[in-house]
Amino acid sequence: MKTILTTLNSKYIHSNLAIRYLSKYVEDIKDVALVEFTINQDRDFITAELHKMEADLIGFSTYIWNLNETLEVCQVLKIANPNLKILLGGPEVTFDGEKILKNHPYIDFIIYGEGEESFRDFLSTLDNNRDLSSVKGLIYREGERIIKNQPRPLLADLNQIPSPYEQVGKEFKNRIVYYESSRGCPFNCQFCLSSTIRGVRYFNIERVKKDLSNLIEGQVRQVKFIDRTFNANKRYAMEIMQFIMDKDPENINFHFEVTAHLIDYELLDFISQAKEGLFQFEIGVQSTKDKTIEAIGRTTDLDKLKTVVRKIKSFGNIHQHLDLIAGLPYESYERFKKSFNEVYDLKVEKVQLGFLKLLKGSGLRNNQKKYGYKYLNKPPYEIISNNYISYSQIIRLKGIEDLVEKYYNGGYFEHTLEFLIRNFYQGAFDFYEDLLDYWEEKSYHKLSHSRKNLYKHLKDFIKHKGYKDSKILFNLLKYDFLGNNPRTNLPSFLETRSPALSRRTVHQILKEEGLLNKYLPEHKNMATKKLINQVQLVSFDINILELIDNGYNPYKKGEETFILLKYMDGQINRYQTWDITELVKELI
């Protein structure tokens, strides 16, 4: 029986871990072919590729991002070849598998819950023509009837699953690999599926180290640990991180979902030593309202979270990403504004504003009536409204989310935004609301925008608002552009009054031994022609560095300055700057 395992990933850069585990777990009894697609590929193409493989059984791994597309593909495959057996597994079919079989006659089998042992049992039962009623975790048809077998207990020892990363060729080069060092979560958040499985199980640490070595050698771009709370076991987490730090790999980073209030001083001290950009942390805040946090089954110590996040920020080596969810119980639009401002004020590298999805199997979906949830019962099950927030308000938050993604995340407008928010608004949320009104008035929300255009639109917004400190703002915008867009010419709309230095003058200054010794010792022997691509020498109408150092106080704007800016290629710190006004004035 020729068997294929497949899935539709959300993007090409992603890969699916489940089908890799499943095929490894049965490799001694069956050769299973693996093939992956993405939801962006043409449905006809996917169907044709699978059909050409002439399989007897195809298993699909289903998630919220691919269920609809997967079902379409399955339907065509079955019409084309009625003898083909189709099996579905994964979180999207785990909680209502019987209904899915009932509504989609072209699906033959569903395996619900953890898949490895059930899949193995299922294959050997089919191959030996045994009775399917003994296969725990299986849902199948018997004539018109749909039979749901007993659930299967979780694997007692995860190490029974052979590692899919024992040999890593170049198949993951420059891609994202999802990696699991533990399964399960100690917490019980009511919007999340991880709360449906009890207990946390761990893979053997030596196996994890071996896999990580292989992935590093395979030149993976990012290893995303899918462990639900990576720091649930501090010692285990530290041993993994220490291993990575000792390996000191280049051009790869490791992403972890961590619970910030569990990070203690020992762990803080430890991570402070990591190389810049090696680790990334994703931290779920979700809301800062106590009643909401309680209703969703979380136990966040918000003060501790803030202290930890600020401390990590001060190290300047770890990219932090904070999550908020709009549409949670008891959180109105006005109250969400407070959650947003509190999170925004932590000034991490990325703020992600998500919208609640009522996932099948989640506590909030089961309690939807209590909170008056309205949503469309189709993936992604995103809420439309609840007792506390209206659809119009959700739409407005989506507009804000889009602007935060464009203007805040990535840090390309850092100083301009900081000046604007500190001097003209009550908080970040008010600024984004104001920008959103302008954005929609101009219909910019209907278009896509290059980064350069985003600078242009922000400049126009500043002009439109008529802020009295527009000179400062235009200089900050120029500074933001130059620092964050290496080797790109300054667009003419960002030029300020103070004249650009001529190329000849810049060359002459960059030859100065004193300057090279003081600021660019590592570039001392580099030809000026080359050095000019690594640095910028720019004039500003104001004393830009002093203004920033003085908390963006417009009264501290000072006089014209010349700034030397060096590009760093860092993920967090992109550039370094020095005020070299005196030196320049001596020379010109």
User: Is residue 16 at the binding interface for ligand B12, with CB under 6 A as the rule?
Assistant: yes
By the rule CB under 6 A, 229 interacts with ligand SF4: yes
Angle at 363 between CA 357 and CA 364, to 5 degrees: 45
CA distance 264 to 281: 15
Q: Which does 401 bind (CB under 5 to 8 A by kind): ligand SF4, ligand B12, none?
A: none
User: Cβ 296 to ligand B12, closest distance in Å?
Assistant: 12
Q: Tell me which stretch binds ligand B12 (CB under 6 A): 109-117, 211-219, 331-339, 542-550.
A: 109-117
Residue 483 binds: one of ligand B12, ligand SF4, none (C-beta under 5 to 8 A by kind): none
Could you tell me the two tokens for 395?
């739409």
Which sign, positive or negative, has the C-alpha torsion 339, 341, 342, 347? positive
Q: Which stretch binds ligand SF4 (CB under 6 A): 2-10, 186-194, 414-422, 536-544?
A: 186-194
Chosen residue from 162, 186, 354, 491 binding ligand B12 by CB under 6 A: 354
Question: Does the footprint of ligand B12 cover residue 202 (CB under 6 A)?
Answer: no
Residue 577 binds ligand B12, judged by CB under 6 A = no
Confirm or reject binding of residue 200 to ligand SF4 (CB under 6 A): no
Q: Closest separation between CB of residue 189 and ligand B12, Å? A: 8
Q: Which of 26, 161, 185, 564 binds ligand SF4 (CB under 6 A)?
A: 185
**Of residues 170, 169, 103, the one with CA closest to residue 141:** 103
Closest CA to 238 of 269, 209, 281, 267: 267
Measuring CA to CA, how many Å separate 189 from each of 14, 180, 197, 285? 26, 20, 11, 12
Name the DSSP letter for residue 404: I
295, 330 contact by CB (below 8 A): yes
Does residue 111 touch ligand B12 according to CB under 6 A?
yes
The Cα 429–Cα 436 span in angstroms is 10
For position 63 contacting ligand B12 by CB under 6 A, the verdict is: yes
**CB 26: neighbour CB atoms within 10 A?**
21
Residue 146 DSSP label: E
21 touches ligand B12 by CB under 6 A: yes
Select from ligand SF4, ligand B12, none the partner in contact with residue 59, using the beta carbon and a kind-dependent cut-off of 5 to 8 Å. Answer: ligand B12
What lies within 8 Å, CB to CB, of 207 at 6+ separation is: 159, 163
Binding of residue 194 to ligand SF4 (CB under 6 A) = yes
Total number of residues that touch ligand B12 (CB under 6 A): 36
User: Of residues 108, 116, 121, 349, which one binds ligand B12 by CB under 6 A?
Assistant: 116
Asked if residue 343 binds ligand SF4 (CB under 6 A), the reply is no
CA distance 470 to 487: 26
Q: Which two tokens stand for residue 202?
A: 């761990």
Binding residue for ligand SF4, selected from 20, 78, 183, 228, defined by CB under 6 A: 228
Exposure b/e, 53-71, CB count within 10 A at least 16 = b? eebebbbbbbbbbbbbbbb
**Residue 504 to residue 484: CA distance in whole angstroms:** 24
Query: CB nearest ligand B12: which residue?
Result: 89
d(CA 165, CA 260): 29
Least Å distance between CB 118 and ligand B12? 6
Residues of this chain that interact with ligand SF4 (CB under 6 A) are 185, 187-189, 192, 194-195, 228-229, 284
Task: List residues near ligand B12 by CB under 6 A.
Answer: 5, 9-10, 14, 16-18, 21-22, 59, 61, 63-65, 87, 89-92, 111, 114-116, 119, 178, 180, 192-194, 226, 228, 354, 357, 359-360, 380
